Structure 1
Amino acid sequence: MPHIHLGEGSFPLWALVLWTLLGAGLISTVVYRIRKGGIKTHQIALAGIGAAASFAVFQLNIPVWGGIHMNLTGLVGIIAGPLLGALVALVVNIFSAALGHGAVGLIGANTLINASEAFVAYYAFKTLMGMEWDVFPASASAATLGLSAGSFLMGAIIVISGVNGSALPRGDLLIAVGGLSALNLGVAVVEGLLTGLIVQFLASVRPDLVGLTDRDTRDEPSGVTA
């Protein structure tokens, strides 16, 4: 799914500084929110599991149009929350860059992209569940929406930044990036369905892990009759 696979030096210096500062600002805000509001123990465990799974599937790269893959950031956002989801995105991108999967200078940009997926997926899932959707369609749709948002953000970052050494004018670059984003949208549907199956399974065995305890309790009969 969305991830800028360009090598070191592909972006101009001003773009590297801009995306790095924005990424650092996002992570700083996330850390502040976590320190202020606290975090539940089970969320930390889920985030750790999600980070391991995300990193593992992240490395399975299909060399098509610059490289496509799944990353499970939508799933991480749904089960661990958007704040921990952003931190997982940072960690996965750091370790991936260390293995040559993405440039070190693009960690800020890629963290923005992947964190946006976790944020959108989480809030979309909560919104759809609040509308009484079933777990599978809600989680599958939420993950697809999150990954789609990340795909559009990736395209915007590339087009805004430009690519050093590219002979393509900005209009042709926009077309090329649009094709890559469209390809990623197709992968988003597949990853969304996979996310839906995983979340549905978790909801069937441990609904509290996906924040469904309150809804289940609300649906139970109270035992009081008129």
Structure 2
Amino acid sequence: MMDNSGPLGDPPDPSGDSAAIRHLLDELERYWQQIRRSGRLPARTDVDPAQIDACLPHSFIVERVAPGVLRLRVAGARLSDALGMEVRGMPLSALFLPEGRDVLAARIDEVFDGPRIMEFPIHSPRGIGRPLMAGRLLVLPLLDREGRVTRAMGAMITEGGIGRGGRRFTIPAGAEIRSDAVDGPLRPIAPAPVFEAAEEPAPFEMPRVRRVADRPGRGHLRLVVDNG
């Protein structure tokens, strides 16, 4: 059975910029900044999923295969759940409605050519059996093995139930799109809150790969990995 509850347990904020979404995006961007070396961009091989486990269901790694075209190499379970099928190997644009694809294609190359950090507000409109979904898409540049900016990590985090059938998203007309030059001043991010542990934390285990057809009932997450 498809889990139709919101991923963060809250009704969606129509702006897509709720405190819960912002917390996860900041956590991912903070990690990206931490793995930069002497101002150099992080490499794909620097990314350790154990350090971003809270973001894993919403996260992805893409490869630019042509101008404006990104192929999903790694995809969290929430992306596949939203589309209603496995998304690994598909273009990132497959998650968008035609008007959203046009905006994405027009701006996404800035991530690689700048390089720049890009953030887009996204939503999937209401329909019969389909509640409003709203959230944000964050894309952070990465180097490949040859030192070229052909990879990116990011997250697509939404609130709201998936409802009936696969969902696709759009970027609202006139929406403010964040585009920060990596060599320029980056948006300051508040330090992560520190909590005193009541007991020894359990060791992290990577979620094992599951096929969509094998997915059990509510509450299970998976991460599909392509190490290319």
TM-score where L is the length of structure 2: 0.25
Which is helix-richer, 1 or 2? 1
Which has more radius of gyration?
1
Output the TM-score relative to the length of structure 1. 0.25
Which structure has more RCO (C-alpha within 8 Å, separation ≥ 6)? 2
Which is strand-richer, 1 or 2?
A: 2
